[in-house]
Structure 1
Amino acid sequence: MFRRISLCLGLVALQAHAAPSWQPFVEPYNQLFPSLEIATATLASDPDDADPAVLGDQQGLIGVELSGAPAGARFELVVRVPGLARDSRLAGTIPDLDQSLNLAPTMAWDFPALAAIRQPRPANIEFELSLDGQSLGTRIQRVRVRSVNDALYYIDEEGEDDDLDFNWLFAAYVNEDHPAVDAILKEALDSGVVDQFDGYQSEDADSVLKQVYAIWHVLQQRGIRYSSITRTASTQDKVLSQHVRFIDESLAMTQANCVDGSVLIASVLRKIDIDPVLVLVPGHMLLGFALDAEGSEMAYLETTMLGDVQPKAEDVKVHLKGRAGLSVDLEASLANFEAALSAGQEQIDEAGNAFDDEDNADYQIIDIEAAREYGVMPITR
């Protein structure tokens, strides 16, 4: 469980006389997720929510728990992660609190090194703590460093109230600045499906659908197919994660599971100022996007259907039902897009009011723009 300060019940009265004691922590459960560290690197904490018993990084996942230290004593903590971070230091004064403290330095990560981790591996994290200039010793914590493709999405604790939802981390795999996005847009323009990408400037939902279809069509022409690979190697069943391919990996492998396909198309939509959302239903993800700038009308895509239909090599001109002016040269491709829209909407209709419960982790809508405003940034490699 992510550590939060608790009263040291049998020891409070004896703290003034007891020798200081400390132990390192690495959360969650001695695992390090590069994706989480990169995505939240610029995320700022709300000062109003600050815990006085947490010194340093309020959201820090690496540090020490210290008890029995006298108020007013000076401390210094150094954390070392060879090859992944420079020495990370935290120094200060012990506050006058009758409880244990969490000391968590802001980690000086080597972000390119984190982003380069493609498969899990063990690592040693070294903690060195001193109090009033006197060393309290050095301790080493062995941890498991996860692949940057591993997206932490849930911590399943014994008590339901202690569970932690990290589904928002999927937004970090949406990367509107990836170089591959421009290549996809160029191919879409070359296909002749659209003359330009203008987002919501036309104030016409049909125009928005046409732009999204142009992207869908290009990805289908590239041969993207559904792949159900999601498993990650983890020995801790409380820590739930999923393998997510980056844009270039999905394109190179021509494979995408429900998350891969959704973050891929969402990345391209963000680039052309069409607002996407990632929609979570039990065991599955689909893509939603706004049909107007206000987000008052939405459409939904079942992205796993992207490769369901092999386009015919014949020149057939058709129109998307109810979307006048949308003409393409491949009837099967367009029919596939229409079917994916229908399947997406059907799942939203089946969910009903489930999305209204903010505490229901199985039904969530992850707004990418809101995630960016909150500080969840794309993972770049």
Structure 2
Amino acid sequence: MRIFEQLESEVRGYVRSFPTIFKTAKGSFLWNEDGTKFIDFFSGAGTLNYGHNNPIISQAMIEHLQNDGIVHGLDKATVAKKEFLQTFYDNILAPRNLEYKVQFTGPTGTNAVETALKLARMVKRRSNIIAFTNGYHGLTLGSLAVTGNTFYRDEFYGMRLNADHMPFDGYFGPDVNTVDYLRKFLSDNSSGIDLPAAVILETVQGEGGINVASVEWLQQLAELCREFDILLIVDDIQVGNGRTGNFFSFERAGIKPDMVTVSKSIGGGMPLAMLLMRPELDQWKPGEHTGTFRGNNLAFVAATQALSYWENDDLTEAVRYKGQIMEQELKAIAEKYPQLISDVRGLGMVWGLEIPRSGFAGEIAKECFENDLIIELAGSEDQVVKFLPALTIEEETLREGLAVIDKAIGDLLQKKEDLRTGDTHQ
């Protein structure tokens, strides 16, 4: 690992959590250069919903390159883009009666968020944006302004401008409706909160700790936005692309956001980000918002193949089935260790175990890595063990990984008890 310590910036993160050199990957497995096989419950932070090196995706990219297909095209018309757009319309938009224009914004999710915020302000001629506690939307300055975690925030960045945070669903507990709370601020001309151009949210907060907004809350928020002429932006970068069961995470609530940001798994493992917007919001002048890599044709090829999973309901049903397994097994683990785990929450195939004991979630993740399972943390204090297996994971592998979690928790608690009592089992 010396070369990484010598040359790579101190900002590197996941290499510290998973200190080994990975070499190959397939499906839900990674292998390091020594040949050790790891189960992947991380999935590239939600980028690999269809697994590592998915064969239909990889083969299509190989053929595209072998045929000298366009790779870099800015926003020129290409065959790869045409086929992606047609497939996205046929498999995603049309079946859901969604009328959205598509804007390709650049290689990563924060590009889509920045574009959405800029467009909302331009259309509404208002600059304020409402975001929510524990929300995460990216780390470029506009996106950072609507991200809640103080770990990423510093006044030196200047990102507080034109953004206010309001409490997410459940922030004050089950008895406080935070849509009513927001309504009070918007209705009071002396609240100090300017009428915003847009409200941005994740329907399931991923980095924020797997906080799931209720259907009722989402519907009330959508109605509030209509009432006050505010644009509703759903950030579906991590929990879209089937992660909650439906392709879009907001489908369960029956709402139709004004804008939707999409990235991560839409590219089938390749960099791709886009903004979906109601047609009447598409008020850009040609070339008014650009990006060198907004035309990643290799990603279009990969994405078109990934969208083949949505020609029918098979993947949705598989996610719901495996999601039920995750829920049942994680709740059983929580019941087994009530002194440690305070909550189990999630939807589809994104779940979290909340562990209030300071630092213990990190110890669990480390113990899992030592037992060949890769899993990350979430929450404002890294207090939530976050489960993001590939949607295509085999049931046997899923159960095997969950068993590793169970054993890791048990082993850690036993080690701590042995230290307390001085028992070394010798």
The TM tier, using the shorter chain, reads under 0.3
TM-score calculated relative to the size of structure 1: 0.25
More RCO (CA 8 Å, sep 6+): 2
TM-score calculated relative to the size of structure 2: 0.23
